[in-house]
Amino acid sequence: MKHQSYSIHNYQNIDQFSKFSKEQREAIEVVSKVFPFKTNNYVTDKLIDWDNFEDDPMFILNFPQKDMLQDNHYNQMLDLIRRGADKKEVYSLANDIRRQLNPHPAGQESNVPFLNGEKLLGIQHKYKETVLFFPTQGQTCHAYCTFCFRWPQFTNMDELKFAMKQSNLLTEYLENNQSVSDLLITGGDPMVMNINNLKAYIEPILNSHSHNLNTIRIGTKSLSFWPDRFINDKDSEDVLRLFEKVSKSGLQLALMAHINHPRELSTKAVQEAIRRIRNTGVQIRTQSPLLNHINNKPELWSRMWRHQVALGLIPYYMFIARDTGAQHYFGTSLKKSIQIFSRAYSQVSGLARTVRGPSMSADPGKVQIAGVTKIRNQKVFVLNFLQGRNPDWVNKPFFAEYDENAKWLDELVPFEDDRFFFEDEFDEIKEKQDKKIVRIDNYKTTA
């Protein structure tokens, strides 16, 4: 399949464009001024059900929806467009709106570490064992998901971009931080990079014997948005050989595949891509947030996990939609999230129960809603850290008052206590980070 990308400038060329109503075209134009919009011909031709596209999860996953903007923001932007405002004015309003949408959720900017006094803008190091790396050339995707919590990466808000060119700094950083066992190469989607760029980042790591890595992970949506990346692109074979090389080096390579809906696993192309990747010795783990309008039904999750296991994939995470961007549109309440997770989990065999969740990637750490129970006749949420800024917080159940409407950790109230058990220490950690005392190994390393 020859790759064809579509954005606000040329989506009029997709075969199904005549199906769009005037209102839909207007909504796409208005919303795409604030949120990024990009799709491609694999998504439009193979994934979207055009007979019912208004409610189709694959369509909603890819095309900007009117309700992704609050009414006031939508109307302000519509107003500017209608009166033919110049680009500068539109851009300025778009940035104003973006700033109100929590563009850096979970304190991402405070995860940026230093090396030899220099701030490493392409790295985030939040948990002791795991470093995130944002290669400059991987800060885009084959198509953009409308819910994406990294949406600011794809706008022109340069100050919000995390990216770094120098792979040697990455290698040096890993050598200097022996607690790091996992490197997550992320984006955007690093699999948009050509083979030369992929090699430039990965091979120096293979050639260095001074770091303590066990696993390189690559976060990607290419499996389901552009499976030809592993089949027919001109460097597909080279990519697979690189995967093989990593596997044979003794390091594990894991693709962290973002799969939001079972339909993404249904095409011949995705199944062929999975087969080829697995033949290189690479593991594929899967993750997705729980999203209104896209995948908020338990049967859909259980079907997706079962199919993943049948294809040799390992279900890994169900996330809760983050407190950023269009959370009001995609986010589900914590109450509903645990109901959907529990029901789906109960319908699959043990092999699919590798999945964890529903989990909030919040500033203090990954907090799982483990369940709802009663203490002295009062309903409570049972919470649990799956990852924490302090590893000692992990796996210690704690309680919050039950709240039907809460969608995120900061909306919860501790049960029979003033503060959650981790909050005093969390404040201290944040204070140290503000003073540029960077937490790398047990909070001891200073910038």
> Which stretches of the chain bind ligand SF4, using CB under 6 A?
141, 144-145, 148, 150, 187-189, 221, 258
User: Closer CB to ligand SF4, residue 219 or residue 388?
Assistant: 219
Distance of closest approach, residue 393 Cβ to ligand SF4, in angstroms:
27
Distance of closest approach, residue 100 Cβ to ligand SF4, in angstroms:
20
Distance of closest approach, residue 206 Cβ to ligand SF4, in angstroms:
25
Distance of closest approach, residue 412 Cβ to ligand SF4, in angstroms:
25
User: Closer CB to ligand SF4, residue 148 or residue 340?
Assistant: 148
User: Closer CB to ligand SF4, residue 188 or residue 358?
Assistant: 188
User: Closer CB to ligand SF4, residue 226 or residue 399?
Assistant: 226
For the chain, what is the HEC assignment? CCCCEECCCCHHHCCCHHHCCHHHHHHHHHHCCCCCCCEEHHHHHHHCCHHHHHHCHHHHHHCCCHHHCCHHHHHHHHHHHHCCCCHHHHHHHHHHHHHCCCCCHHHHHHHCCEECCEECCCEEEEECCEEEECEHHHCCCCCCCCCCCCHHHHCCCHHHCCCECCHHHHHHHHHHCCCCCEEEECCCCHHHCCHHHHHHHHHHHHHCCCCCCCEEEEEECHHHHCHHHHCCCCCHHHHHHHHHHHHHHCCEEEEEEECCCHHHHCCHHHHHHHHHHHHCCCEEEEEEEECCCCCCCHHHHHHHHHHHHHCCCEEEEEEECCCCCCHHHHCCCHHHHHHHHHHHHHCCCHHHCCCEEEEEECCCEEEEEEEEEEECCEEEEEEEEEEECCHHHECCCEEEECCCCCCCHHHCCECCCCCCCCHHHHHHHHHHHHCCCCCCCCCCCCC
Distance of closest approach, residue 192 Cβ to ligand SF4, in angstroms:
9
Distance of closest approach, residue 233 Cβ to ligand SF4, in angstroms:
17
User: Closer CB to ligand SF4, residue 39 or residue 433?
Assistant: 39
User: Closer CB to ligand SF4, residue 126 or residue 258?
Assistant: 258
